[in-house]
Structure 1
């Protein structure tokens, strides 16, 4: 995993993080194997954006907000250890927010995302018996170094009309078992930012797990880790928006915050027993996703991130309207106010998640499932509405810009640009810079990928609602809702009110 001169038993520094990525991982990009993701122009700036997070763990002005000491005496990021009280969750909230503000909410799979699961391993390792030691050891390693984990829990969109057992040529499954571990083959998606991580978590999400059946799909009922230097793990990366970004002026977000997604293939990859959490156990493969508290916790992280990203988009929209001279138009203020309300809603859910948690494994607490389910739905669908508002209020203004930064350096056309491309009280260069940022956030290829990410990272559009309903049924909430209606129905009949507190007569008189 890491090729450092000395074993590290504390949070990595930025430089140590970058060094740890030079481990021979197999990343395919544009027909070639990437020799070093920390220097390759498709990945290097994103890697340095992550390295800045690690440096913040050691900086005097930020480390107290970010770090805590867990019950084992490990100094770690506050979201990398289980929470045991609302105060712990509030501390984690502030640590997540500090990291997220460093990328303005534009990097969704930063290290604390998968810490939503990895921390739960420390709360009750025995839940994963007979692989309790796997949970225990991975928690220690992850917490002590603040490891960056990626995850793949979605089956490829192939043969989904057939039972999983009939798609073994594609889906991750056990090929054979050995004394030292298991050999697995198959593919998973979407391995976001995986080229820059320390290990892959392979599991099943709620939608995939629902299709598994005991006695038929046991060889697919797996949860395990794959270290990035595994020679039989292949990452097939999509196009790099960072690579296409010619300058920060033209692509201020894509040039440094592109979390390159990958299609992950395991080609008879050997997984030692010490990296296995669930093996041939359909019931546990179905339950762990909810039982672990991962769902509750990852929505805590994503809601904080989305609140910060919404704040960024609010500031960007307001500055753009001021540039156009339309910030005081009543209709524009109405829609800006709508996004303000979204921002308040997200932070309110975060507050409820922290102050009103529910018990979880090993005496820990996690954000309440009902709040997590609601956050999952409303944060995922918010982005479409934000983009819609941008399109209505800014119209064609984002299109009107120079081709790239070199146009602004041409002395012959500078007077023309200054006259016709200026903003309201804003010189042409600053107006161009502002709207280049709008374009990168809303309309570039990088922005298009973010639209897909925000809508789908937490599951398909139907599963989000189905899960909310299913969990409400399992917890008896739907019975409570119906009981409330039954109480109302029981208070009257054809003869009138049954409670003397109200009066009624057939002719309508009191």
Structure 2
């Protein structure tokens, strides 16, 4: 007779705390910035505050007022886990996972995109689809258990570098990831992958393929790989872009970039050793084409992304409203119309998360997934919403975004301060209030950090054309367009050259 499942208070809890998460990053990883290895990412000025921001997420898993909001008992391991790190089995579970995702998103005001729950979109599926990974199904299950129990932070790198993409993959063996040696205890790989956003502050990276069209059977088996690499894997080099956190002059001047900069990186595997227990797919050109749609990453990933975007849009609506009040333009008709549209984008985005959860589709092994066609629609519309945000801020705040002085030191200058108090004051606040608000607005859309977010949101789920083509392809595969076309045929069947042929229109009643 099976024993009763443990209650949440009885369940083992191995989830990392903020402190243990920070400690887990001190593992000898090779993170490169400005030509040098960063010895400790938790203390380096390029990463320290972002690391603390991530630590806050883990603290929320244990805080008395958010512990039950964020966690549940995992049916597979019996441990207390983050609600989105384990597969959902009902619409109710998806909604509760949404609440957990939302809370984490609010801790960065929607500006940290690759928080650990993002990769949960894929990692949670390792337990419900483990048979797919045979003969490495045991690895899939083992990694799920390790991941979910600790609440590990996992990044991913699934895009090939933009080199010779017009050629078949097997002709670019000097750049794309491939296996170069097979050993009794694992494989040796070399090559590069991108974009491993935030990987400098994660525990491991999932490495796979997404651009699959030219992985040819019989020629590209050495590239048909999927594996998980701890960030301290010997031979793994993490090459970072310039750090916006490091460039931040103060929290007052750079309130977002000084603490929420998720550094985008390229992972270079320089004859790196991958033990067999970390391999999920090996030299299988057919399976490497199937794992992406089978994993649940598409619908779950866009579910998490939509929740995060809704929080971000709320934040931007708040800035726009306060900014126009500070300028005395809040009552202008055009300003009100712009703010109204921004709110509509937020409401639409949030409503889509509700629909994804409440109208789920059947997933593997008794699980449910957010409905894919709704997720695909968010994938198309999210970049448009962020493009409109920029338009509203540039139209309705305009030069106010630049009338902020050079830094917080201007306000601390005793000679300048009386002048700034007089000439920089706002209609709804002091000069300091006004400058503080517009520096926040500029960091969100105009700084290097803000420009990166514009680029990120545009390409978050793929190129603009590709997200639309995928929506079309998916609709055709599900028979949606056939159904829609049948309605057209039915409508045209109601009449012919001589008049109406069906219903009351035809019989004159």
Q: TM-score, normalised by structure 2?
A: 0.96
Q: Which residue of 2 aligns with 1:5?
A: none
Map residues 302-451 of structure 1 onto 2, 5 A cutoff.
Answer: 302-451=305-454
Shift of 1:25: 0.2
- Inter-partner Cα distance in structure 2 for 1:279 and 1:364: 27
- Inter-partner Cα distance in structure 2 for 1:469 and 1:173: 32
Q: Which runs of 5+ in 1 are unaligned?
A: 1-7
Structure 1 vs Structure 2 CA RMSD: 1.4
- Inter-partner Cα distance in structure 2 for 1:102 and 1:108: 11
- Inter-partner Cα distance in structure 2 for 1:488 and 1:432: 60
Q: Which residue of 1 aligns with 2:3?
A: none
- Alignment counterpart, residue 220 of structure 1, candidates 223, 226, 237: 223
Map residues 15-414 of structure 1 onto 2, 5 A cutoff.
Answer: 15-71=19-75, 72-205=77-210, 208-414=211-417
Range moving further from structure 2, 363-372 or 311-320: 363-372
- Inter-partner Cα distance in structure 1 for 2:468 and 2:181: 38
Q: Is the 8 A contact 1:113 1:301 kept in 2?
A: yes
Shift of 1:496: 2.2
- Inter-partner Cα distance in structure 1 for 2:453 and 2:255: 15
SS at match of 1:256: coil
SS at match of 2:62: coil
- Inter-partner Cα distance in structure 2 for 1:456 and 1:500: 49
Shift of 1:210: 2.7
1:495 to 2:494 alignment: no
- Inter-partner Cα distance in structure 1 for 2:170 and 2:460: 25
Range moving further from structure 2, 192-201 or 118-127: 118-127
Q: Which residue of 2 aligns with 1:476?
A: 479
- Inter-partner Cα distance in structure 2 for 1:151 and 1:224: 10
Q: Which residue of 1 aligns with 2:5?
A: none
Shift of 1:504: 9.7
Listed one character per residue, the Cα deviations across residues 261-283 of structure 1 (whole Å, up to 9, x for unaligned) are: 11110111111111111111222
Q: Is the 8 A contact 1:292 1:361 kept in 2?
A: no
Shift of 1:175: 1.1
- Inter-partner Cα distance in structure 1 for 2:298 and 2:368: 13
Q: Is the 8 A contact 2:13 2:80 kept in 1?
A: no
Shift of 1:381: 2.5
SS at match of 1:502: helix
SS at match of 1:282: coil
Listed one character per residue, the Cα deviations across residues 26-84 of structure 1 (whole Å, up to 9, x for unaligned) are: 01111111100000000000000000111111100110100000112021100000000
* Distance change >3 Å, CA 305–CA 503, structure 1 → 2: same
Q: Is the 8 A contact 2:129 2:295 kept in 1?
A: no
1:12 to 2:16 alignment: yes
SS at match of 1:122: helix
* Distance change >3 Å, CA 229–CA 488, structure 1 → 2: same
Q: Is the 8 A contact 2:223 2:283 kept in 1?
A: yes
- Inter-partner Cα distance in structure 2 for 1:292 and 1:374: 19
Q: Which runs of 5+ in 2 are unaligned?
A: 1-11
Shift of 1:481: 1.4
SS at match of 2:391: helix
- Inter-partner Cα distance in structure 2 for 1:490 and 1:449: 52
SS at match of 1:396: helix
The size of the alignment, in residue pairs, is: 497
Shift of 1:9: 6.3
SS at match of 1:186: strand
- Inter-partner Cα distance in structure 2 for 1:193 and 1:381: 24
- Inter-partner Cα distance in structure 1 for 2:428 and 2:393: 21
Q: Which residue of 1 aligns with 2:8?
A: none
- Inter-partner Cα distance in structure 2 for 1:500 and 1:201: 59
- Inter-partner Cα distance in structure 1 for 2:321 and 2:502: 55
Shift of 1:461: 1.2
Q: Is the 8 A contact 2:234 2:273 kept in 1?
A: no
Listed one character per residue, the Cα deviations across residues 472-508 of structure 1 (whole Å, up to 9, x for unaligned) are: 1111112111111111222222222221421499xxx
SS at match of 1:501: helix
